[in-house]
Amino acid sequence: MKPGNPVVQFLVVFVWVTALITSVGAILGAAIWPLVGLALGSRHEPWQLALTGVRTLGFYFFIWAPGTGIVIASIREWRRQHPES
């Protein structure tokens, strides 16, 4: 079986990791912000707090996601090229 194009494999891993990390941040933001708002007595509606959490934590996680994706894709490609290590 012929392996796929390494550039395509690298890009797929990079995009997948970036999307996964950003999604986790958005989901955590949607869950955490309303809870913190409730605990602190916020006057905002829970959906407003959830939307703010999605935007805020999603953004913060997105800041780190591409760098992490590049590192993970690079490690994966290096291991593919050096199977004896």
Q: How far apart are CA 59 and CA 76, in angstroms?
A: 26
pLDDT of residue 27: 97
* Rounded average pLDDT per 10-residue block, the chain, 85 residues: 77 96 97 94 93 96 96 93 81
pLDDT of residue 13: 94
pLDDT of residue 80: 87
pLDDT of residue 2: 55
Are the CB atoms for 22 and 61 separated by under 8 Å? yes
pLDDT of residue 84: 81
Q: How far apart are CA 74 and CA 38, in angstroms?
A: 42
Helix extents (H) in the chain: 6-39, 46-81
